[in-house]
Amino acid sequence: MLLEQDFLETHSIDSTFKKNLEFLLSYGTSAGADFVEIYVENIDNTGFLVEQDKVTSVNPSFGKGIGIRVFLGNRDGFVSTNDFSKQGLIFCLDQALGMLGLAKGSNSKNSFQGLKSLNDYSINKVKLAIECPTLKESTNKVLEATSLLKKHGRRADVRRGSYSKTIQEVLVASSDGTFAKDLRLYQSIGLNVLAVDKEYRSSIGRRIGSTEMPRALLDWDSEDTAKEINESAEKMLYANFVQAGQMPAVLANKFGGVIFHEACGHLLETTQIERGTTPFKDKIGKQIANKALTAIDEGNTQGAFGSISMDDEGMKTQKTVLIQNGILKTFLSDRAGELRTGHKRTGSGRRQSYAFAAASRMRNTFIERGPYTPNQLIESIDNGIYCKSMGGGSVGATGQFNFSVEEGYLIKNGKLTEPVKGATLIGEAVDVMPKISMCANDLDLAAGFCGSISGNINVTVGQPHIKVDSITIGGR
């Protein structure tokens, strides 16, 4: 009788539903587990790609499953399944218990006291899916955007647009009494152009992402974005290659924050302490950056791509000050991180889906605004580079980074001069952080995706314009 009904057949969490979860949690703790967590997910995604003026692919997908994790001491076992039957779920739980050498009946004591009342973060979100654009409205909007790339780009040779909409229902039940539910809506828009003139090439792209904003796509000013992209592409088309060397740099706001996210943010996750790969392990309360730098990670900014009402362990999201005036204040921590490192949970346990165990991950991560204008940063440099837009890159395990500059300009005597291409920013977090000496007052955020131990998740990066006193520029 127990658990034979599908957990997500109905959106109502009735007494039978709760008893089903409590049966599993009691089963796990009575087998000797210190802690048992059940993560239930129902996900609906629609994505499509537009190339030139045609929709070339549409990719709808649905997913439903459960992830079960058990802890014994500081060890854990995790198994996932999309078999919602009683037998399937017990088999899944037995596998997780077996990873820790536990089995049903191995412990007569049962510490589980029952689930608390449901903490329902989804209660005011039931209209999110209904208010989203239809597939026809979505495709028409992105087709319009790629057409505008052609309209505003004399050299626009290849034009691409993409859109993704994800509706995710999650529920977390744990043996400490946690019982929480959420409904999430994510939308992401990408627009790219390749400008070509004979042997000259330049490629520029932008991504816009939102959380729980049903009209984000329809309200998007696609013409403004198309103009911005084409303007950048044409400036870079005939740019000279930059000369390699060591020089000061100004990094623009928005996606410029990707370097802090990748090179430093990951080093402030407790998963990196567990792996022994962060140089900041024993630096709490110590100076790791210039006094001009304060860095935040939070999940509260309305509409931001990395915002969440609760994390994937059922904890309410919060604001976490990572670095304050250059002093390391805390790490991002999940349940396993708290257990293994002693750093308290920060509402940062995140995962791609039910097929992954949660891990400490970033949400909206950014460098705080400072007292200067962007022009004051540029005016403070005699000979350097302005990085208006960042491209892709790579990061080593301990914070070594290599990022391309998508759109860059030389700075001469405090003024922007000629555009340059082929620039790469090369460095290491421990060396670069103390050299961020000025932060402007124009903080802004940009959407992105982050891959790590618990899969790919939505995040936001950001910063104001910042000045780095000296950094290695790769070029010719």
Please report the domains of the chain, with CATH numbers, ordered by start residue.
Answer: 15-45+59-120 (no CATH), 128-171+183-237 (3.30.2290.10), 245-474 (no CATH)
| pLDDT value at residue 7 | 42
CB 313 within 8 A of CB 341: no
pLDDT at 106 over 70: no
Residue among 425, 445, 444 nearest 436 (CA):
425
Average pLDDT of span 424-429: 95
Cα–Cα separations (whole angstroms), residue 425 to 105, 245, 273, 398, 475: 58, 10, 26, 17, 9
Average of per-residue pLDDT across 53-76: 96
User: Average pLDDT, stretch 50-61?
Assistant: 96
If pLDDT is split at 50, 70 and 90, which confidence band does 16 have? confident
Q: Is residue 161 within 8 Å of residue 189, measured between CB atoms?
A: yes
Check if the beta carbon of residue 202 is closer than 8 Å to that of residue 195.
yes
Mean pLDDT value across residues 427-449: 96
Assess whether pLDDT exceeds 60 at residue 62: yes
Q: How far apart are CA 44 and CA 63, in angstroms?
A: 7
Strand 424-428 relative to strand 436-439, pairing: unpaired
Tell me: pLDDT of 13 over 70.
no
Is pLDDT of 129 > 90? no
Quick one: pLDDT band at residue 10, thresholds 50, 70, 90?
very low
CB of 249 within 8 A of CB of 390? no
| Percent with pLDDT over 70 in the chain | 96
Query: Model's pTM, two decimal places?
Result: 0.93
Mean pLDDT across 326-349: 97
Confidence (pLDDT) at 2: 35
**Closest CA relative to residue 304, chosen from 387, 362, 371:** 362
Among 108-112, 314-318, 393-397, 419-423, name the one with the lowest average pLDDT: 108-112
Instruction: Give pLDDT, residue 5.
Output: 47
Query: Is residue 399 over pLDDT 50?
Result: yes
Q: What is the mean pLDDT of residues 162-191?
A: 97
Angle between helices 15-30 and 86-99 (to 10 degrees): 30
Say what the pLDDT of residue 241 is. Answer: 94
Do residues 74 and 337 lie in contact, with contact meaning Cβ atoms separated by under 8 Å?
Answer: no
- As a whole number, mean pLDDT of residues 153-168 equals 96
Non-local (6+) Cβ contacts of 397 within 8 A are: 275, 277
pLDDT at 3: 38
The arithmetic mean of pLDDT across residues 370-397, rounded, is: 94
The CB density around residue 246, as the number of other CB atoms within 10 Å, is: 9
Tell me the mean pLDDT in the region 270-281: 95
pLDDT higher than threshold 90 for residue 124: no
Strands 444-452 and 436-439: unpaired
Q: What's the whole-number mean pLDDT along residues 362-369?
A: 98
Report the mean per-residue pLDDT for the chain: 94
Is the pLDDT confidence value at 159 over 50? yes
pLDDT, residue 53, reads 95
